[in-house]
Amino acid sequence: MSEESQEQKRERLLRVIEILKREYPDAKCTLDFRTSHELLVAAILAAQCTDERVNQVTPGLFARYPSVEAFAKADISELEEMIKPTGFFRNKAKAIIESAQVILDHYGGKVPDTIEELTKIPGVGRKTANLIVGVAYGKPAVIVDTHVRRVAARLGFTKEKDPAKIEEDLWNLLPPEEATQFNHLIVAHGRMICKAPNPVCRACVIAEFCPEGRNRLGERLGV
């Protein structure tokens, strides 16, 4: 696969997507939310924390702070206490309050729907911005989280380490209509099979399309 053309790589990617859609038909964003702002808050909390843990915290959090305005006026000590189980709670509380204030002051209380504007908001990097654009607003987006970084590299779709460059590599391969769902499929596969540090290649439905998987299986078989 090292001699692949860009077109061959694109065809392989589409085949991978096709197989993963069958394997994970219910793949979707695993953060619970009702509004674009709730997704933004949940995404901030999800940094260095599992989505499962975040989903345990957010029902009470969103009941206590039911709007952007409520978060903007939140007492930081109270907010820190509520989100403590997610870790790094002081930085996260600061980012949640400041982001709500910016959304109120500069965007009329509505979370913007472009990467350019979202990344101007405190606590919002490209990963979170793409998540909001793709999941909350239904626009094509390439969401480069830890699973996408790992699995895309193993599949040979990128050699980059920088998330922005990985995003660019994937955009060069992905049809826009598949971009957002690609993340959900890769996350599902990364959690179940293509784990760090030890992927379960023998149980992988896309191993034949994966350079690293083929190498690992070949080594195991002694070929």
* Residue ranges covered by each domain of the chain: 6-28+143-221, 36-136
Note the pLDDT of residue 155.
Answer: 97
CATH architecture of the domain covering 6-28+143-221: Orthogonal Bundle (1.10)
Q: State the DSSP H helix or E strand holding residue 48, giving kind and residue range, or none if neither.
A: none
- Please give the Cα distance from 100 to 103 (Å, whole number): 5
- Please give the Cα distance from 27 to 185 (Å, whole number): 6
Residue 34, helix vs strand vs coil: coil
- Please give the Cα distance from 131 to 208 (Å, whole number): 29
pLDDT band at 11 (very low <50, low <70, confident <90, very high): very high
pLDDT digits 0-9 by tens, 109-160: 999 999 999 999 999 999 999 999 999 999 999 999 999 999 999 999 999 9
- Amino acid 188 reads A
Q: Is the pLDDT of residue 221 over 50?
A: no
pLDDT digits 0-9 by tens, 166-175: 999 999 999 9
State both tokens at 36.
């674009």
Give which of 2, 17, 1 is closest to 173, Cα–Cα.
17
pLDDT digits 0-9 by tens, 27-59: 999 999 999 999 999 999 999 999 999 999 999
- Amino acid 185 reads L
pLDDT digits 0-9 by tens, 64-123: 999 999 999 999 999 999 999 999 999 999 999 999 999 999 999 999 999 999 999 999
Q: Which residue has the tokens 């939310």?
A: 33
- Amino acid 182 reads F
Check residues 29 and 1 and name the one with the higher pLDDT: 29
User: Could you tell me the CA-to-CA distances from 83 to 16, 36, 53, 79, 194 in Å, in that order?
Assistant: 37, 19, 10, 6, 30
- Please give the Cα distance from 91 to 123 (Å, whole number): 9
Looking at CATH, the fold of the domain delimited by 36-136 is given as Endonuclease III; domain 1 (1.10.340)
